[in-house]
A and B are shown apart, each in its own frame.
Chain A
């Protein structure tokens, strides 16, 4: 575990991709094979099952460290990370052991099997035999919060270099969520078992934001335009009579969408589509937050299926008649889709993201202005002769989003952030005018520069009116322009609205609180 904890620490303290690749190579050239498989599993977001919660962990840590609970809370508010706080307050271990990562993962999984009253002793036993860095990683594993700032692309580059296998081959072999106990490192990389892996998705090809408009893209005839649908990007895989749905987060979400089973009756075998999972009814998309409520549910009941009806909007086909056709030109792939258009549409749950006809960029610009009317986020531009590549690449696929909604709002509450923003007031609640009262309508965390954050932090400390636990009520004085992608009615918020992806566009130092917008003007946006 020491090796793994040091490896994690090393990755954590560099921002350079090249350094990360070197660090990964170094680790993989020395680690035991079962540790490597677990590492890959964890790095692609795999979780370890555990049957105790963070409240219990806090209690056990407070007891073992022999400090009062409030002091733990103060510490946590400063550090901003539970796993790290616990690792820092525990007494230093006297009997360090050096067991492998795999040993400790098995140890955690074994805890699930023992009686609840004995679990505490096992956790403390672990804390007693690990050093601070190891405890941090161990805690991350048991709280399910293990994340690492390394993209799949970086891992692929590192392993490709180390094992001398082509990048796209590695990327494909690493996709999917096989449990590490069921596969060896050799099997994983050799791809020997790929034949059995009928559920395996392809790595997604992602579009780059088109900053300056399409002027520089050249001849419009070389480009295919589609709506940028607002749902969850996914792959629908139908192989050997079985259906699998993957989300872009590389999560297998088949069970969340039982209605897609129905399309099996229509599709030719061995086909893989790239598309968007979205809620849809009466030939129109439904708001994104409807889909969100559905994803949050553990059990998909007939009631939910009725309230949040879904479809799969097809963008592309990646495998046809069992053949990987990603290197064909987009035009040719789209042709394969139109060849089976009737079958697709007859299934009822599949739709095709049709091309938008346009003759020049000016015309497309006008069409884009209507994106919101069609409940889309903007326009996608794809080069007609482009292959389906891996990851986010500049050049062939662009997303041209509509400008966000904006509104001027007053900051009224502030809370400390987490991670790299620990101990700084970075999470704010904003309000607009409802008559002569300020009513809160959204929180926002992102959009300010580090220097602005520092300035706001100082303001909050000097202008606190009240403290409620971690939340401070601050003097209404600062005005920010809040940008967001969508707005929907909601009874969860005092204001009666819920925003999609709110963030601070800019700090309006030129505005006084009287200049902020009203709830009325916010609600007007609902109708757009």
Chain B
């Protein structure tokens, strides 16, 4: 077991600072890497996160939570442990947590991606002795195309649907993925609407200074005719739901790293799948691990055993971490 970090039934714990990182159950003090539901849980007495994360945290966990927001790269001392947040590139405000005590440095990655998406703060490699990495896409079958290529596919799909007079419903996580899509898609093609879960997050982000096109909520106040040829950004739960009925004829797509695999796409009876992910692909995971220069790697969230075995074969001291949240295509890419 590492000196700085312990791995408990409630997740990753630093006993020196007496803080949990993304704890699974209520804790006295929690540092939150980002506000997705498998990382930010309700009930802790105190939350510390990036300042962009705090408003979303309050929106999702309740306005009455006791939460403090800090900037990236601005260390704070907790019981002698120097703690700082660094951009993880996953969603706006997402952070890697760096902990330093008596010359020993540990970094907990949370979720991350290496490619800059134009909207989210770019991932920053952080040198450390111990690195805790995610492995959501820790298999060599996951290698992403560039964002430009994927958005080309999305734009072409939308254009084709528009030419056919039907709506395009594009599903992706309402926090992060939805805004990345909205920011990068070619909005000259047509009108864009959002599911309420998406527009709520948009507003929070715009309040925090994000530059996002203003879009209307796709509800009953919209004239049905206006949906024809439009793009509607929706959360994954929209797939197969009756909420879709209001759009008349539509094509339904899904933006997620899982869409790299044909079977996952076919299983959900989607019309289109776009392998647009906010996680590192196989190449990215390997590059990130290498960049940290860490002697010890802990692997969590995803293909943990595979990635550990691979790292060991490549000369790393690697170990598997149990995660309460087995990351899975239909549930949590968040």
Residues of A participating in the B interface, judged by any CB pair closer than 8 Å: 12-15, 65, 67-68, 70-71, 74-75, 78-81, 84-85, 88-89, 92, 418-424, 450, 454, 461
Contact = CB atoms under 8 A, between A and B. Distances in A.
Nearest to B141: A88
B210 to A, nearest CB: 32
Contact of A15 (B142, B269, B306, B326): B269
21 contacts: A12-B262, A13-B270, A13-B272, A15-B271, A65-B140, A71-B139, A71-B310, A75-B140, A78-B303, A79-B141, A79-B261, A81-B262, A81-B263, A88-B141, A88-B261, A418-B263, A419-B263, A420-B263, A422-B263, A423-B261, A423-B264
Report, nearest first, the 6 A-B pairs whose CB atoms are least far apart. A422-B263, A420-B266, A88-B141, A420-B267, A75-B141, A89-B140
Nearest to B258: A423
A79 B330 CA distance: 15
Contacts of A418: 263
A67 B283 CA distance: 13
Given A88-B141, A88-B142, A423-B264, 8 more contacts: A68-B310, A68-B313, A74-B303, A84-B261, A88-B143, A420-B267, A421-B267, A424-B267
A69 to B, nearest CB: 12
Question: Most A CB atoms within 10 A — which of B139, B265, B303?
Answer: B139
Interface in B264-287: 264-267, 269-273
Contacts of A84: 261-262
DSSP majority for the A interface?
A: helix
Contacts of A78: 139, 141, 261, 303
A71 B308 CA distance: 11
A15 B261 CA distance: 17
A517 B139 CA distance: 42
B263 A67 contact: no
A71 B265 CA distance: 23
Which has the most chain A C-beta neighbours within 10 Å: B143, B267, B306? B267
Contacts of B265: 13
B260 interface: yes
Given A13-B273, A67-B140, A450 B267 contact: yes
Contacts of B313: 68
Contacts of B326: 461
A70 B262 contact: no
B271 A71 contact: no
A418 B306 CA distance: 20
Band of interface residues on B: 20 to 34
Interface in B293-311: 303, 306, 309-310
Given A13-B273, A67-B140, A89-B141, A74 B306 contact: yes
B139 A454 contact: no
B145 to A, nearest CB: 9
Contact of A71 (B261, B273, B306): B306
Contacts of A461: 326
Contacts of A422: 261, 263-264, 267
Contacts of B143: 88, 92
Nearest to B140: A89
Contacts of B260: 88
Contacts of B140: 65, 67, 71, 75, 88-89
A433 B225 CA distance: 62
B119 to A, nearest CB: 26
Contact of B330 (A71, A85, A454): A454
B266 A419 contact: yes
Contacts of A419: 262-263, 266
Contacts of A74: 139, 303, 306
A85 B262 contact: no
Nearest to A461: B326
Contacts of B310: 68, 71
B309 A421 contact: no
Contacts of B273: 13
Contact of A421 (B139, B263, B269, B306): B263
Interface in B30-47: none
Contacts of A421: 263, 267
A92 B145 CA distance: 10
A461 B305 CA distance: 14
Interface in B224-279: 260-267, 269-273
A67 B271 CA distance: 33
Which among A418, A422, A454 has the greatest number of chain B C-beta atoms within 10 A?
A422
Contacts of A12: 262, 266
A79 B263 contact: yes
A88 B262 CA distance: 11
Contacts of A68: 310, 313
Contact of A14 (B271, B303, B309): B271
A75 B309 CA distance: 14
A418 to B, nearest CB: 7
Contacts of A424: 267
Interface string B314-332: 0000000000001001100
A8 to B, nearest CB: 11
Contacts of A92: 143
A421 B270 CA distance: 14
A92 B282 CA distance: 14
B56 to A, nearest CB: 28
A461 to B, nearest CB: 7
A306 to B, nearest CB: 45
Contacts of A65: 140
A420 B269 CA distance: 9
Nearest to A22: B164
A418 B265 CA distance: 13
A75 B326 CA distance: 17
A323 B330 CA distance: 57
Contacts of B306: 71, 74
A213 to B, nearest CB: 32
A143 to B, nearest CB: 15
Contacts of B266: 12, 419-420
Contacts of B262: 12, 79, 81, 84, 419
A236 B310 CA distance: 58
Interface string B43-59: 00000000000000000
Contacts of B271: 13-15
Contacts of A420: 263, 266-267
A331 B104 CA distance: 91
A68 B262 CA distance: 23
A354 to B, nearest CB: 45
Nearest to B306: A74
Contacts of A454: 330
Contacts of B269: 15
Interface string B2-28: 000000000000000000000000000
A74 B309 CA distance: 11
B257 to A, nearest CB: 12
B141 A80 contact: no
A424 B313 CA distance: 27
